Structure formats: C-alpha cells, structure tokens
Structure 1
Amino acid sequence: MRLIQCEHQGRIHAALVERIDQVRLLDADTYTLARRASAAGQSLAQAVEAALTETHLDYQQLIDEKRLLPPLTHPDPAHCLVTGTGLTHLGSADTRSAMHAKTQVDEAELTDSMRMFKLGVEGGKPAPGEVGAQPEWFYKGDGSCVVAPEAEIPVPHFAEDAGEEPELAGLYVIGDDGQPWRVGHAIGNEFSDHVTERFNYLWLAHSKLRACSFGPELLVGELPDHLEGTSRIVRDGETLWEKPFLTGEANMAHSLANLEHHHFKYPGFRRPGDVHVHFFGTATLSFADGVQTRDDDRFEIDLPEFGRPLRNPLRFEVDNPDIAVKSL
C-alpha cells in the first residue's frame, strides 16, 4: 500500500495510489489517519481502508498544478523533527573517509569515519532484545526545512556545495502515551553541503542544516530487505550523472531497529503528537564523482518499490540578508 498527500479544495488529504496515473482520496491527512490508528489500536492500513472516499484524482494533474505535498506532515512544522544517521550503509565509509583523509596526521591509522563505520559493522545488528552500537546522528531542522516532491530545493547564499543524498526515510508519529509509531517509509533526498563537511568533519552539523525532500509516496507495511535504486542529475533536459544505489537492511551495517532505538531512546524525541522524519544514510553521492551542481539542475531518485521517483530542481539563492542580534 502506498499513500501520497495533496491539496484538494483548500484542505490537505492523504490519497491511496491505485494506479501510476490515479489516486483515491481519503477523508483526512496522513497525520490524522496515523493518530486514528494508534488511538484505535489498529494498523494504518485498516485506518486507510475505513477512510476511502469515492473521489479519484489524476496523479499527474496534482503534480502539474503543484498540489503534491510530502506524504506526512504535522499541522505545526515546529512539531516535525528532521534527523538522520550516517555511515550506515556498506560502502558508505569509503566515500566519507576519502573526504576526511586530508585532515588526518597519520593516514595509516583509521579515520574517525572508518572507526564509526567499523563499530556499526561489528555491532550494528544486535540480537533481539539487545542494544547495538550507537550510530552517527545529526539534526537537519524542523518541518519548515522539508520541500515537497517536485518543488525547488533552496540553496542558501552561504553554501559551498549543493549535493543530493539518496536515502530511505523512516516516518513516525508519537502517540499520546509517548509511544513512537512507524507510519512507513519513503524515498528521501537528505541533501547536504559536502564541501563544508570536507573542510573539517566537525562542520558536519553545519553541512546538514539544509532543506530536504521525501516522497512522493509513503510505503505502508514491511520494508524489503534489499532495494535497488537509481540516483541521477538532469541538466538542460539531459542526464548529467547517474548511478545505481543499494539500500535496505541487507545492504546496511545497522539494523533499522537499532537506528530507531538510538534515536527514540531520548525522552525529548518521544513528545506526544510529534512527527519524526529520520534519514537512514546513503552510499552513493555525485559529489564523490566530482559533480558540481548548478541552478535548475534536477535531482531524481528512483526506487521502483516506492512508485514514482522523487524529483526536485535546485534553486540557488542570491539574497544575503543582514543578520544582526539586537539587545532588548
């Protein structure tokens, strides 16, 4: 089962994807449906079945009219937290370590990135009931940093780079009792500033404070262990760069359960009613192949199991606002 969200007659609705060109409207948005399901002790799929309407919409028309939205949102963006983990995928450490190698005094020793990756390989998939190795973790922002599928990803004037990161994103709603509920998964473009990160890995936190996108479709139910996708950059109607990528637990050093545990173990991330969007990491970057993106380049991330690809053009901002703190 796959869901989207869209604007219809001035309201936000979830819709069930029935065909590649058609969706069936539901009577509420995804957040409301998830809250209904958790309160009633039923699955999201059951809540969706009960919320079906007789209204069918043209999928492409929603895109053309810019009515497509991220598949899960919170009515108050401040109550949506966007976070992620890195060095989680087999192969991801080589790219990161190469970026940071110049900062090491003795390259014969493991870089910090390789140490972190090694911890995951050795202890990222613990036995049931046990706690595994703690992963790298970062904060991207609240719901205001999320860009809808097909919409422009803004690049701030101070950015050194504008690079895609094709990933899986886990989508969650916190119940009234503080219980995290997994709503489903979506394709994500975590988007990052790799030049800033490469200068010094302690600037990783700065490099992640950028916009991001996920969707357009939310996969409800079990996630396949092995997923094969394609990430590409389109410039002036032609493919500039394209590369396959692997994801899913079979291609990861950490289990998803371990990544979820180390995120939601913090009480502040179990605040009733909040939405969480958590990116699970990547192993494929155009930056690693020397690509420099430009204004109006379009990112396309395709995982067939998730329906339509996630597509976003880039928009480089030129405004340099005067930021000054004033005393009260």
Structure 2
Amino acid sequence: MTVFFECVHRGRRHFGLGKPGDGEPLVLYPLGDDDPLPLVVAAGGDGAALAAALTAGREAVTVPAAERDTVSFRPPLLPRSAGDAMVGGFMQTHNVKVDASTQSQPNWFLKGLGDVLKVSGEDLAVPSSAVALCEEAEVVLVYVTDEQGRPRYAGYTFGNDLTDIGRFKRHAGHLSYAKLCDAAVAPWLFLDAPPQLVEGRVTIERDGRPAWEGDFTTGAKALHYGLDAMVSELFSYEALCHPGRVHYVFIGADRSSFHAGFRMTGGDRVTIEFTSHDVTLSNVVRWPAQATAAPAEG
C-alpha cells in the first residue's frame, strides 16, 4: 500500500511516499510550483502509477531524524486556496447508533472549507457559544473533482470531527451549527480502498493528566449504510462537483466520550490513536470563554 504525504521543509513544498516512523529520517521530493492534483486524477487510484508519476525527474532530499522539526506536515492534497476544498460528512452512520428513528439515507453536513482542517499538534477551535463537545474518531475519504466535474476517489486518511453535540441534542435541526468546529486530520493519504475495520483508543487529558479514556471501532464494516451508496448519493448533486474541488468526507463515528457521560472543556487535549493503522492525532481544544466543563445536555 502506498502512502502519500505533503509537507513544508525550509519554506518549500515537498512530498513523500510511505509513512515515516518516529525518529526516522524523511525522504522528500520537492514540489516547487507543481500541483499534484492532476496527477492524482490521472493515476485513477493506482498507487504505484501515482508514485512513479510524482517522482519522475525529481531528486530526493533526505532530512535527518534530528532535523525533523524543520518539517511541517499538511492535510493531504489540500489545495493552495482553502476555498477549493470542502469538508463535510455523514452522521449517525454506525450500527451502534441505529434506532427507530434511523433514516434510509444518513444526514450529510458541511463542516467548512479547507481552513478548518488541522494536523496533529495544532489547536482545534470551537465557537464560544458551544454547549457540549465530543470527539469523533473517523475515516476520512478524499476525492479530487476532475475537469468534467466527476469526483475521483484518491484515498483515505483519519480524522477527529470535533462536534458541538450539546447543541444538536438541544435541537436536532441545529446539526449544521453543531458541526462548525475545526477538525483534525492526519497528513497520511493511504492510496487504497476505504478500510473495512479500524480500531483505536481515545485519551482526553486535562491539566496534563488523563481525564477520560475509551476504545472505538469504525470502518466500512461498522456502518449501517453501504458506503458506495452514501457517496453516490452525495455526489449526485451537481452543486458539489465543481472541477478542481477537493472533498474531505468524514464517514461517521462510534460512540464518544460524551455518550459515556464525560464533558470536555477548553484546554483539554484529545489524543486519538488509530492503533490498527499506526496513526495518532493529538490536539488541544481551544474553546473561548470556557473555564469549566459544560453542563450535561442529556
């Protein structure tokens, strides 16, 4: 399986292939002013073909492990203009959330444009008016829309769809507001079919100490809905399919800390370990005017 990532090294854009381990040197290729999106579309999901096209004529640069702090990672395939990326997803998709009110098609939401995506280590901002927050450990599908307006699947990564679940619990019609929080996303783009099973663990720290921990399961097998049907329905709407647009589609989450009775507050650090795929996201929640945990909302 090929893994693609982008980063900035000494002020210049680079990319790499393969998921580097902690403490290992990075092998990078300069991107210059080139845009990898057309090559992603042309490769048609063939990871080997994409790797060959990307590296052709480029000389690798090795960054020693001791100098990895000179490299800053980026969300995968994020366009130069944040307005050319759309971040959204589906809610209540998992089998564990099925009940009598379950619809034939899950609700879709718009989370924002590309600037809501943050990588591990960056703060996740939420509105000061948020009621009660929850982390949502999810698979994120990435699509690049070609010149004919057809979204082409590029690969998948992992994310945290931070959500104001308290507002949604107060009023189900306020889902659109509840989702307007930043999202964490891993920089690694796995150039393969969406994973069937993903397992992991969430740890929330407060004042440097663990305050809540819990396990989760996600992936295509955990869904109540067929993933292909969900995506086909979404991209049947022409308004979403502007040529050149990159879509980051969150496919839904297992139960969260909120469902276990925990209430997050500003300054909490949320660490999500996707242990089955050796991916970790760790971000501090930036919640203005919130000094204590929000009250429970049922």
TM-score grouping bracket, smaller chain normalisation: 0.7 to 0.9
How far residue 185 of structure 1 moved from its aligned partner, in angstroms, is 0.8
Identity %: 27
Q: Post-superposition shift, 1:58?
A: 5.1
Task: Find 2:36's aligned residue among 33, 38, 47.
Answer: 33
Report the CA distance shift for 1:41/1:261 in structure 2 as closer, same or farther (over 3 A).
closer
Contiguous gaps of at least 5 residues in structure 1? 95-109, 120-133, 320-328
1:201 offset after TM fit, Å? 0.7
Equivalent position amino acid for 1:317 in 2? P
Cα deviation code 1:64-97 (max 9, x no counterpart): 4571221220111111111110111110246xxx
1:61 positional shift: 5.2
Report the equivalent of 2:201. 230
d(CA) in 1 for partners of 2:66, 2:179: 31
C-alpha distance 19-80 of structure 1, shift in aligned 2 (>3 A): closer
Say whether residues 1:85 and 2:85 are aligned partners: no
Contact 2:140 2:156 survives alignment (8 Å): yes
The match for 1:276 among 247, 263, 267 is 247
Number of aligned positions between the proteins: 283
Alignment of 1:69-218 (within 5 A): 69-93=74-98, 110=100, 114-116=101-103, 119=104, 134-218=105-189
Shift of 1:44: 4.2
**Higher Rg:** 1
Contact 2:9 2:71 in 1 (8 A): no
Partner of 1:308: 279
Looking at structure 2, the residues matched to 263 and 136 of structure 1 have their Cα atoms a distance apart, in angstroms, of 10
Structure 2: segments with no counterpart, 5+ residues: 291-298
Structure 1-normalised TM-score? Answer: 0.79
Take 2:44 and 2:95, find their aligned partners in 1: how far apart are those partners?
37
* 1:275-301, Cα deviation, whole Å (9 max, x unpaired): 101100012211111212233211111
Going by fraction, where is helix more abundant, 1 or 2? Answer: 1
In structure 2, the partner of 1:55 is 61
Q: Please list, as runs of the form range in 1=range in 2, the aligned pairs for 1:12-23 lying within 5 A after superposition.
A: 12-20=13-21, 21-23=24-26
After TM superposition, the runs of 4+ consecutive aligned structure 1 residues lying more than 6 A away are none
Structure-to-structure mapping, 1:245-284, within 5 angstroms? 245-284=216-255
